[in-house]
Amino acid sequence: MKKSVLRSKLIQIFKKHRLSKKHSAICADYLIKAELLAAKSHGLTRLKMYCDRIKKNLINPKPKIKIRKINSSVSHIDADNSIGFVSADIGISQAIKNAKKTGIGLVGIKRSGHFGLSSFYAEQAVKKNLIVLCFTNAPPALAPYGAKKSLFGTNPICFGVPTGKVPFILDTSTSIINRGKIRRANKFGEKIPFGVALDKFGKITTDPKKALEGTQLPIAGFKGSGLAWMVDILSGVITGSSHGGKTKDPFDDFSGPQNVGHLFITINPKIFIGKRFIKEINKNINLVKKLPKAKGFSSILYPGERKNNLYKKNSKKDISIPQKILNEMSNLNAV
- Of the two residues 335 and 284, the one the predictor is more confident about is 284
Q: What is the pLDDT of residues 262-297, one digit of tens each?
A: 999 999 999 999 999 999 999 999 999 999 999 999
Q: Is the pLDDT of residue 148 over 90?
A: no
Q: Half-sphere exposure of 301 toward its Cβ, with a 13 Å CA cutoff?
A: 13
335: pLDDT confidence band, cut at 50, 70 and 90?
low
**pLDDT(203) > 90:** yes
> Is 9 exposed, middle or buried, given 0-12, 13-18 or 19+ CB atoms closer than 10 A?
middle
Whether residue 334 is predicted with pLDDT greater than 90 in this model: the reply is: no
Q: Looking at 173-323, which runs of residues are DSSP E strands?
A: 197-198, 215-216, 260-267
Answer CATH for 3-175+218-272+313-333 from 3.30.1370.60, 3.40.50.2300, 3.30.2310.20, 1.10.3720.10: 3.30.1370.60
User: For 39-86, what is each residue's pLDDT tens digit?
Assistant: 999 999 999 999 999 999 999 999 999 999 999 999 999 999 999 999
Q: What is the mean pLDDT of residues 208-225?
A: 95
Question: What is the rounded average pLDDT of the residues 146-152?
Answer: 91
Q: Between helices 47-55 and 3-16, what is the axis angle to 10°?
A: 20
Classify 140 as helix, strand or coil: coil
Burial 190-210 (b: 16+ CB within 10 A, else e): eebeeebbbbeeeeebebbeb
Mean pLDDT of 302-317: 96
Domain boundaries, the chain: 3-175+218-272+313-333
> What value, to the nearest 5°, has the Cα angle with vertex 116 and ends 113 and 119?
125
Count of helix runs (H) and strand runs (E) in the chain: 12, 9
DSSP bridge pairs for 69: 75
198 pLDDT more than 70: yes
Predicted pLDDT at 266 = 98
Q: Alpha-carbon distance 204 to 215, whole Å?
A: 10
d(CA 330, CA 335): 9
